[in-house]
Amino acid sequence: MDLNFFIYSFTSLFIIVDPVGIIPIFHILTYYYSKDEQIEIIKSATVTATITLLIFALFGTYIFDYFGITLDSFKVAGGLLLFKIAWDMLHAEMSKTKHSPREEIDMRMGSVAVVPLAIPLLAGPGAITTTIILMEKAQSLANKTIVISSIILTMIVSGLILSASDIVVKKLKVSGINAIVRIMGLILAAISVQIIFSGAYGLIKTITA
């Protein structure tokens, strides 16, 4: 197993999913639910998010081909999106690429497990972008398996973190959570810049070929 690629894949996905940053929202959404009900919501959300990311991991390139999108152009667009999310994280804000004001109203209605917890909080545009780019980097079957494993592991860890959200909120408080989110945002910003440069380089090579 390529340990370096596994660490890179898991770290990239974990940072962009940002379960620690989701804790305050999850805490508000499930405040009036019992602990058992919260656990069931987390299970449903993580399973839904996992399936969503696996679909894009396995069929993302086919979706690109259908719409005539090149991977390099997606890298540039996706990298810019990730940088926007990183910028919001650096300012300890919930990224607007995850939910809109209208969706915030919808949060109070219906099941919170699928919308907004699974989509778009756990499996948002940033996570989908990262998944597809990681699958492109994974040339071998072994590395593609690593990406899939990283998706599953990220959701398992995210579920465990959300399960302990009440403890985390008491221990870290809002300021502590914001500090962690900012650190993750800085790392994500560096990753996004690398993705943008990689995509831009590929586009320039194609144009000048």
The pLDDT tens digits for 99-152 are 554 454 344 433 678 877 898 789 988 899 899 999 999 989 999 999 999 999
Type of residue numbered 144: K
149 assigned to some structural domain:
yes
Q: For residue range 61-107, what is the model confidence (pLDDT) as tens digits?
A: 888 889 998 888 888 988 888 788 788 878 866 555 555 544 543 44
Q: For residue range 9-65, what is the model confidence (pLDDT) as tens digits?
A: 999 999 999 998 888 878 877 877 889 989 999 999 999 999 999 999 999 988 888
Cα first-last separation, the chain = 36
14 assigned to some structural domain:
no
59 assigned to some structural domain:
yes
Q: Are 45 and 161 in contact (CB under 8 A)?
A: no
28 assigned to some structural domain:
no
27 assigned to some structural domain:
no
- Give how many domains the chain has, as a whole number: 1
Rounded CA separation 63/135 (Å): 14
Q: Which ranges of the chain does DSSP label H, i.e. alpha helix?
A: 3-17, 19-29, 35-67, 71-90, 101-106, 125-137, 141-163, 165-208
Q: Return the pLDDT at 106.
A: 43
Q: Return the pLDDT at 151.
A: 98
Torsion of CA 184, 119, 88, 204, to 10 degrees: 90
194 assigned to some structural domain:
yes
Q: Return the pLDDT at 201.
A: 93
Q: Domain range holding 189?
A: 35-208
Q: Return the pLDDT at 93.
A: 61
User: Which tokens is 176 given?
Assistant: 């502590």
User: Which tokens is 203 given?
Assistant: 């586009």
Length of the chain: 209
pTM beyond 0.85, yes or no: no
Phi/psi at 30 (5° precision): -110, 20
40 assigned to some structural domain:
yes
Rounded CA separation 181/90 (Å): 7
43 assigned to some structural domain:
yes
